[in-house]
Amino acid sequence: GLELSHCVGANSLGPAVPWRSGGPCKMKRVRTVFKPEQLERLEQEFLKQQYMVGTERVDLAATLHLTETQVKVWFQNRRIKWRKQSMEQKAAKLSQFGVIQPATADSTDIKDREEDTVDVEL
């Protein structure tokens, strides 16, 4: 499952904030570090399809020894990266032809608009 680190903020400027309603300190999720083999397989699957759902996601998670949530979040984050790269390539092509493009939303706005960017599910 998801690992949570111990108290965060005990030595910070403000008081410790309870994480959810469970305890006296704020808990922080430990970032998943994927093995190179897992990343290679995830990238291969992303090239086939940008959305992994249902039993396909469950099977892939089991094959890679990851949780379904880890696979889901990896695909969400990879789609955001893919969209950002696509926009940058489009901007580069337009600038080659001297086309001035209107101001575009930055990547944080895109992430906010992404409908399924929840990072943690408990």
25-38: per-residue pLDDT in tens? 778 878 899 999 99
Q: Determine, yes or no, domain membership for 104.
A: no
H or E element, residue 46: helix 36-48
The conformation of residue 116, written as its DSSP 8-state character, comes to T
- The list of the chain residues with pLDDT below 50 reads 1, 9-19, 107-108, 110-118, 120-122
**Residue 2 φ/ψ region, left for φ over 0, alpha for ψ in the -120 to 50 degree band, beta for the rest:** beta
Q: In whole angstroms, what separates CA 26 from the centre of its chain?
A: 21
Q: Determine, yes or no, domain membership for 13.
A: no
Q: Determine, yes or no, domain membership for 28.
A: no
Q: Determine, yes or no, domain membership for 107.
A: no
- Domain range for 54: 39-95
Q: How many domains does the chain have?
A: 1
Q: Determine, yes or no, domain membership for 21.
A: no
Q: What's this model's pTM, rounded to 2 decimal places? A: 0.60
- Any idea what the CATH number is for the domain that residue 83 is in? 1.10.10.60
User: In sequence order, what are the beta bridge partners of 8?
Assistant: 26
Q: 80, 88 in Cβ contact below 8 A?
A: no
